[in-house]
Structure 1
Amino acid sequence: MGIDDISKKAQEFLKDERVTKALKSEQAEGASDKILDGIAAAADKATGGRYRDQIDGAKDSADKKIGNE
């Protein structure tokens, strides 16, 4: 199985109505928020807070694309 096969299967999986519903659920929103908050905190710590505004902007942008809010 090559990368093209995996990509096609992933696309089929994501088109399933049950998967789409699950990804838009409150539970998925909570999980994505928790992950994004953790990544942002780690990036902020690694940069000593120098890029906090940019990190927060990137986190907010990613949250709009991933979550349901």
Structure 2
Amino acid sequence: MSVMDKLRQMLKGHEEKTAQDVDRSGDTVDETTHGKYQEQIDTAQQKAKDRLQRDPEAPRREQDNPPQD
């Protein structure tokens, strides 16, 4: 079981609260950096929420599972 699977299992039923916490954390970092990295923080927030809400049974995209050389 991967770390993301364990997180999803722990957060199951608390999706709304988790999304709020991701937003709040990102906003805190954004305030601390005085908006210097706002676009990167917004992207990271969205990706974090997407990863936590994704169905673990859904097929993964190529970029989520890069080929091993």
1:48 aligns with 2:39: no
Give ranges in structure 2 of 5+ residues lacking alignment.
Answer: 56-69
1:61 alignment partner AA: K
> Is the Cα contact below 8 Å between 1:29 and 1:68 reproduced in 2?
no
What is aligned with 2:53?
67
- TM-score, normalized by length of structure 1? 0.59
1:31-46 equivalence runs, <5 A: 31-46=17-32
Distance 2:23 2:52 in 1: 13
Question: 3-state DSSP class of the match of 1:38?
Answer: helix
Give ranges in structure 1 of 5+ residues lacking alignment.
Answer: 1-7
Greater Rg by CA: 1
- TM-score, normalized by length of structure 2? 0.59
Number of aligned residue pairs: give it.
50
Identity across aligned pairs (percent)?
22
RMSD: 2.8
Structure with the higher helix share, 1 or 2? 1
